[in-house]
Amino acid sequence: MSAPNNAWSSPAWTYREIRTASRRLLMLSLAVNPFQTLFVLLALAVKFAAAATLDGLTFEQESSLPFWVLEGLRSKASNVTACAALNPFYQRADFDGDGRADYSVIVCEKLSGKRGIGFVHAKGPTVIVLGAGAESPGSGSDDYSWMDAWQVFERGRVSQGMTEEQPPTLRGDALLIEKTSSASAILWWDGDRYQWYQQGD
């Protein structure tokens, strides 16, 4: 039996046609409005280049995180991706104080590359992103690129910081985030959202 004479049965032919049509469309666009076309092409190239460099974690790095953490970030914070912009690229602790281990992961906003922290609480799981294009408490800004060190601050007494603000009473573990030799702050969960407590300047 001979193959049916159907365009859909030949993917290569379809691809050639699409490629030819795209090329003609591009030539027409360049002829009609060259500057606008070049600007769009340049913007697309920059966007794809940024996406390529922020293409999440390597297979080995992903294998170091539980599936529910990666899936939580993908499904509930699809505008960011886990990225290894800092070493270590995640911390494990009980941030909401419910007795179950939670994770905080370095994330990058896909389009802008702005950095932040993605908290994934085991309960839910619940995903909260600070920075990476989103709002942050305190002086974190929407880009945590300034942060060059971080560690878990285990639940306990917080010493008085540089301001007159009273130290918080922690419900769970917290994060000590730093720009080394410059500033540090504690990020802690108040039961509803993450709060910022300035430690040093």
Minimum distance, C-beta of residue 100 to Ca ion, in the bound complex (Å): 4
- CA-wise closest residue to 177 among 114, 110, 88: 88
102 belongs to the binding site for Ca ion (CB under 5 A): yes
Residue placing its CB nearer to Ca ion in the complex, 155 or 179: 155
Helix (DSSP H) and strand (DSSP E) numbers for the chain: 4, 9
Cβ-contact 72, 105 below 8 angstroms: no
Using alpha carbons only, what angle is made at residue 89 by residues 46 and 144, rounded to the nearest 5 degrees?
Answer: 60
**Interface stretch with Ca ion, choices 4-12, 44-52, 90-98, 106-114 (CB under 5 A):** 90-98
User: Per-residue contact track with Ca ion, 48 to 87, x per CB under 5 A?
Assistant: ----------------------------------------
Q: Is 11 helix (H, G, I), strand (E, B) or coil?
A: helix
Number of residues forming the site for Ca ion (CB under 5 A): 5
Minimum distance, C-beta of residue 97 to Ca ion, in the bound complex (Å): 7
* Tokens (6 digits) for 38: 């070049």
Residue placing its CB nearer to Ca ion in the complex, 98 or 148: 98
94 belongs to the binding site for Ca ion (CB under 5 A): yes
96, 109, 143, 178: residue in contact with Ca ion (rule CB under 5 A): 96
DSSP conformation letters of 99-137: SS-EEEEEEEETTT--EEEEEEETTTTEEEEEETTS--S
86, 98, 112, 142: residue in contact with Ca ion (rule CB under 5 A): 98
Residue placing its CB nearer to Ca ion in the complex, 83 or 187: 187
Residue placing its CB nearer to Ca ion in the complex, 104 or 199: 104
β-partners of residue 128 are 119
92 belongs to the binding site for Ca ion (CB under 5 A): no
100 belongs to the binding site for Ca ion (CB under 5 A): yes
173 belongs to the binding site for Ca ion (CB under 5 A): no
Q: How far apart are CA 12 and CA 103, in angstroms?
A: 46
Q: How far apart are CA 59 and CA 52, in angstroms?
A: 15
Positions in the binding site for Ca ion (CB under 5 A): 94, 96, 98, 100, 102
